[in-house]
Amino acid sequence: MRNFLRQVRISVSVSALLALLLGLALTALLFVSVRGVESQARADQFKREATLRINAVSGGLSDAIEQLMVVNQLFNTVGVVSREQFHSFTAPLLARYPELQALSFQRVVSDAERPAYEARQRRRVPDFAITEFISERHEPAQKRPYYNVVEYIEPVAGNGIALGLDTAALTTYGDARSRSRRNGRVTATGLLSLVQYRGFHTGFLVLAPVYQRQAAPDSASPGQRAVIGETAAVFRVDHLIHTLLDNARLLDQPRMSINIYAAGAAQAAQLAFSNGKAPPPASSALLPGWLLYDHPAPVNALFHVAQEPWFIEVTGEPRSIIASHAGSWYALLGGVFSSLLAAGYVYSLVSRRSTIERVASERTAALQFANLRLTEDLALRKRTEKALRLREKVIEVSANAVIICNAQAPEYAVEYVNPAFEKLTGFCAAEVIGKSLKSLQGDGHDQQNIDEITAALREQREGHAVVRSFRKDGSGYWNDLFIAPVRDDAGAISHFVVAQYDISAVMRFEAELEYQANHDVLTGLANRHLLAERLSSAIAQAQRAGTELWVVFVDLDRFKFVNDTLGHEAGDAMLRVLGGRIKGAVDDGDTVSRMGGDEFVLVLPGRPGDGDGLRVLQRIMDAVAEPLRIQAHEFFVTCSMGVAVYPADGDNADTLTKHADIAMYRAKEMGRNTYQFYCPEMNARTLERLQIEADLRHALERNELVLHYQPQIDVGSGAIVGMEALLRWEHPVLGTVSPLRFIALAEEMGLIIPIGAWVIRTACLQNMAWQKAGMAQLRMAVNLSARQFTGKDLLQSVGDALEESGLEARFLELELTESMVMSDVENTITILRMLKQLGVHLAIDDFGTGYSSLSYLSRFPLDVLKIDQSFVRDIAVGADAAAIVVSIISLAHSLRLKVIAEGVETAAQLAFLREHGCDEVQGYFFSRPVGALEFESLMAHATCTMD
Ligand SMILES: Nc1nc2c(ncn2[C@@H]2O[C@H](COP(=O)(O)O[C@H]3[C@@H](O)[C@H](n4cnc5c(=O)[nH]c(N)nc54)O[C@@H]3COP(=O)(O)O)[C@@H](O)[C@H]2O)c(=O)[nH]1
C-alpha cells in the first residue's frame, strides 16, 4: 500500500511537472515569438527613422547644392554679374539656407591679366589682391600662369578673408575643379579645413563651372567650352547636416547615432558628421547580448553629393529587452504565471484523479483481498475435505486395525472397522458393525489388562493397554490397544476410536531378548546373569528358611582334547549334549548354568543333608560319563566337580562360586572324574596358582627359565642322534616347576610367545655351542605351543635364532601336536612349508592321541612322527596300544617319516619298538631330561645299551 501511495504521489508530481514544463516551453516559444515580432517592429521603426534621417541629409544637401546651381545659372545666363548683383542675388538664398557658409564666384585670371585685374578689383575693394595662404599667413599669390581668384563671396561677413584668395593653390580642391570643368556639372570637393575658421571647422565646396557666354555654344561639350571661373558654395559640413536634421527635428532621438562620411564607405578621415553615442557592447559575462539587448541592425546608405559618393550610417543603441520588449515580458511573465497555474491545476486534477484511483485501487485491493480470503477459504475447505478424504484413505489403508464405536455405554456399538481390522481378526465389517465393542475381545479369556480400557471408556478419556486378543478362529495375539474419545462439533464425546497394533512379534522378540539375556545361547541353560539372580534369590531363601544350599562347579575332563582335535563344532555339540544331561540329572527347582567353555555351575537349594545332594552329584557324573557319539566318533567324557555349601563355605554368591571352583580344581588334581567339597586348605593351592601366574610374568627377565635336554637314541645304532629341549622354571620359592603347571598358563596369559622364542634361541645357541665344542652333531627338538605356532612371529624367531646361533637349520626340529596342525589344515600347510623352506625338521608330537586325517597328514611336509608315550606305556599290557604303535610305525614309514617313540621306560618297550621297526626312542630308560652340563657329561659317556 505504501508503495502504491508513493507511486501515486510520483505520478501526480510528474504530471504537474510535465504541465509546468509544457507551459514554460509554450511561454518560451511565445516569448521568443513576441520578442521576434517586437524586434522586427523595432527594427522596422528604426529603419524608418534611419531612412528619414538619410533622406533628410541627402535631400538637404541636394537642396543646398541646388542654391549653387541657381547662382551658377545666374552667371551662365547674365554673363557679367556685378558684385552688387551677386550680393543681392545670393542674399535671399543665404537667408533661406543659413546652413550655407558662403557662396562665391572664382574667376580664372591669367598671370598676364593679374595686375589689371587686381587694379580693377581694387576699385571696388580697396585692398584687393590675389593671395594665397603660406604658412598660415595670407600672402600675395605666387606667380603662376593662371589664378582662380575668389572674386565675390557672400556673405562677406565671416568670409571676407577669402576675397582674392587664389584657390588654384589649394590642394584641398583636389581634382574637383578639373572634373567640374570637364563634365560641366556641379562637383564637390572632399572635406577640407575652412580658411574662414582657420581650420577649426571642416567643410566642403561645391563647384560649378561658369563658361564664357559668347564663346560657349550649347552644343559643345563642357570640356571644350571656355571657362571664366566657377561658382562655389562653401558648406560647413557639421553645421549644414546638423541644421538639416535639426530643422527636420530628427536630432531628438538620443538612442541613435548618425555618422556621415564624405566617401563611399565609413572612412574615419572622411567623417563629415557624427551624432549620438557609439552603441555599448551588447553582451554580458553571463548571458549573450541578444538575450539581454535588442540591437537593431545599423542602416547604411550611399548617396551622392554633387557627383561624389557619400556614406551614411545610422546605428541604433542596443536597448535592454526589459525596456524595449514589454510585450514579450508580459507574455513571459503571463506564460510563467499561466504555466504555474496550469501545473497547479494539473496537480490538483491529477491528485484528485490519483486520490480517486488510490481510493479505487484501495477498494479494489480490499475486494481482491476479500476475494483472496474467499479463495483461500475455499481452498482451505477443499484442503480440509481432501485431508479428511486422505485421512479416511489412510485409515482405510492403515496396516493397523482401527475401530470407531459410538460413545453410548454400555454397548459402545461398533460403527466402523477398517480393512486392517478385518485382516487382523478375520472378522469382516458386516460381522462386527452394530455389535458391542466388548464382544470383540471375546469371553472366557484372561483379560486382566482390559480393565484399563473399560475404565477409559467409562471415564471418557484416553486409554492404553497391552491385552491378549483373539481372532475369529480363536487364535490369540498380543494387542497394543489405544482408545481415545472423539468429540463432535459441540465438544461432546460422540465416539471412541480404537487402534489395535498386533505386537505379537515384538512380544516374541522381547521374550527372545529376555531369554537370550538370561540363557546360554549354546546350551539353553541359565547364563551367568540368571545364575547370579537365582543364586542370590536361593541364598536369600535359604537364609530365610535356615536351610543349606549347594553350589556345584562342574568342569568336563578332556573336553579341550575334543575341542582341539575335532574342532569347535564338535566341542559345541558335546557341550549341548552334556549340558542337557546335567540338566536332566538335577531336580526341578535346581538351576543349571553354563559359565562358558566347559564349566557349569549348579545351584541346588534346600538340600537337607549330604545324602540327597550326593545322589544328585552322582547322577550328574553318571550322566556325563554316558558314551557320547559325535561325528561318528564315540567319546567317554568325565567331569570333575567342586561343591561349596551355604552357609558354611560362604554367605554370598561370589564366595560360594569361587570356593566351588577351587574345590573343582582339587578334584581335577585328584585325578578327575570325581567331586570334592570345599575345605579352607584348598585356598592355599589356589593361592599358589595365583602366585605362579604373577611370578611367571617376570620369570624370563629374572632368568628363572632353563632348558633340560632329553636324548633321543637311534634304535639301530644305539647312538644319541638327537635331543628334546624341555623347559623348566627354577622358581625361587617353589623350586623346579613343571611345564605342565605353567605352559597352559603362559598360553592363557600370552607369555608363551616371548617364552617360546627364548626356548628356540637358547636351544639353537646351546646346540651350536656343543657342536663348536666338538660334540657330535645332534638334532635339537623344540616344542611349539598352539598359540606360538599360529603366531605371526614364529618364522622370524626361528630365522633369528638360526642366524644368531649359526646353527644349520637341519639340526633344529620343531615339534607340533596333532591338534595344532589339524585345526586349520590349509593354514598349517602354509606355515609348515615356510618353516620347511628354512630347512628345519618338523615332527608331530604325541601322535595317536588326537584325530589326524591321513589324507591331510600326507600333505604336510613332515619328517618325524612321535608316538605318544601313553601308547608306549601300554605296549606291554594292552593289545590295543601295541596295535596302535605298530600301525603308527607302519603309517609313518609309508609316508616316509621317521618314527620316534617317547616315554620308553623299559627294555620290553624298547624291544617291541625295535622289533616293529621304530627308528628312534626317547625316555627314562635312557635318560631323564637333564641340564646342559649333565647332558654334556651324558654325551661324553654315551654308551647306550639297546638291549
Ligand atoms: N610348548 C612347550 N611345551 C613344552 C616345553 N617343554 C616341555 N613342554 C611340554 O610340557 C609337557 C611336560 O613336559 P615335561 O614335564 O618336560 O615332560 C616331558 C618329559 O619329561 C616326559 N618324559 C620323557 N620320557 C619319559 C618317560 O620315559 N616317562 C615319563 N613318564 N615321562 C617321560 O615327557 C614329556 C615330553 O613330552 P613331549 O613333549 O610330548 O615329548 C610336555 O607336553 C612337553 O611337550 C617347551 O619348551 N615348550
DSSP 52-109: HHHHHHHHHHHHHHHHHHHHHHHHHHHSS--HHHHHHHHHHHHHH-TTEEEEEEEEEE
Q: If you measure from the C-alpha of residue 724 to the centroid of ligand 1, how many angstroms do you get, rounded to a whole number?
A: 9
Contacts 24+ apart (CB under 8 A), 894-897: 895/857, 895/858, 895/862, 895/865, 897/862, 897/863, 897/864, 897/865
The β-bridge partners of 311 are: 261, 302
Q: How far is CA 146 from the centre of its chain?
A: 121
Counting from 1 in the atom list of ligand 1, the atom nearest the Cα of 726 is: 6
Q: If you measure from the C-alpha of residue 409 to the centroid of ligand 1, how many angstroms do you get, rounded to a whole number?
A: 88
Counting from 1 in the atom list of ligand 1, the atom nearest the Cα of 785 is: 1
- Which pLDDT score is estimated for 11? 64
Counting from 1 in the atom list of ligand 1, the atom nearest the Cα of 739 is: 10
- Which pLDDT score is estimated for 610? 57
Counting from 1 in the atom list of ligand 1, the atom nearest the Cα of 738 is: 15
C-alpha cell at 355: 486520490
Mean per-residue pLDDT pooled into runs of 10, the chain (947 residues): 58 73 80 75 81 84 81 80 86 82 89 90 88 82 90 87 85 82 85 71 85 59 75 85 82 80 87 76 57 76 87 82 70 80 76 70 73 78 79 82 90 91 90 86 63 88 88 86 90 91 86 88 94 94 91 87 75 93 94 94 80 87 89 81 94 94 87 88 77 88 96 95 97 90 84 95 97 95 91 92 97 91 81 96 86 74 93 85 90 93 95 96 96 93 55
- Which pLDDT score is estimated for 358? 72
Question: Looking at the whole model, is its pTM more than 0.90?
Answer: no
**Who contacts 768 (Cβ-Cβ below 8 Å, separation ≥6)?**
805, 806, 807
- Write the residue with the smallest CA distance to atom 21 of ligand 1: 903
- Which pLDDT score is estimated for 577? 94
Q: For the chain, which domains are there?
A: 62-236 (3.30.450.350), 398-508 (3.30.450.20), 519-680 (3.30.70.270), 694-940 (3.20.20.450)
> What does the H/E/C string look like for 205-254?
EEEEEEECCCCCCCCCCHHHCCEEEEEEEEEEHHHHHHHHHHHCCCCCCC
Q: At residue 81, what are phi and psi to the nearest 5 degrees? A: -115, 125
CB 273 within 8 A of CB 245: no
Q: How far is CA 247 from the centre of its chain?
A: 101
- Write the residue with the smallest CA distance to atom 29 of ligand 1: 903
- Which pLDDT score is estimated for 670? 79
- Write the residue with the smallest CA distance to atom 44 of ligand 1: 783
Closest to 918 (Cα-Cα) out of 876, 943, 882, 945: 882
Cα 473 to Cα 454: distance, rounded to the nearest angstrom: 24
Phi-psi region of 914 (alpha: psi -120 to 50; beta: other; left: phi over 0): alpha
- Which pLDDT score is estimated for 813? 98
Q: If you measure from the C-alpha of residue 682 to the centroid of ligand 1, how many angstroms do you get, rounded to a whole number?
A: 27
Q: If you measure from the C-alpha of residue 726 to the centroid of ligand 1, how many angstroms do you get, rounded to a whole number?
A: 6
- DSSP letter assigned to residue 811: G
Counting from 1 in the atom list of ligand 1, the atom nearest the Cα of 904 is: 27
Give the C-alpha distances (Å, rounded to integers) separating 415 from 411, 424, 494, 495: 11, 18, 12, 9
Who lines ligand 1 at CB under 6 A? 710, 724, 726-727, 738-740, 743, 759, 783-785, 845-846, 869, 902-905, 923-924, 929
Counting from 1 in the atom list of ligand 1, the atom nearest the Cα of 846 is: 39
- Write the residue with the smallest CA distance to atom 38 of ligand 1: 783
- Write the residue with the smallest CA distance to atom 31 of ligand 1: 903
Q: Is 648 helix (H, G, I), strand (E, B) or coil?
A: coil
Residue 310, Cβ neighbours under 10 Å: how many? 23
C-alpha cell at 889: 610305525
Counting from 1 in the atom list of ligand 1, the atom nearest the Cα of 902 is: 24
Q: If you measure from the C-alpha of residue 372 to the centroid of ligand 1, how many angstroms do you get, rounded to a whole number?
A: 100
Q: Which of 710, 783, 874, 905 to mutate for ligand 1's pocket (most ligand atoms within 8 Å of CB)?
A: 783
Cα 83 to Cα 499: distance, rounded to the nearest angstrom: 163
Counting from 1 in the atom list of ligand 1, the atom nearest the Cα of 782 is: 46
Q: If you measure from the C-alpha of residue 1 to the centroid of ligand 1, how many angstroms do you get, rounded to a whole number?
A: 105
- Write the residue with the smallest CA distance to atom 24 of ligand 1: 923
CB 921 within 8 A of CB 715: yes
The β-bridge partners of 487 are: 493
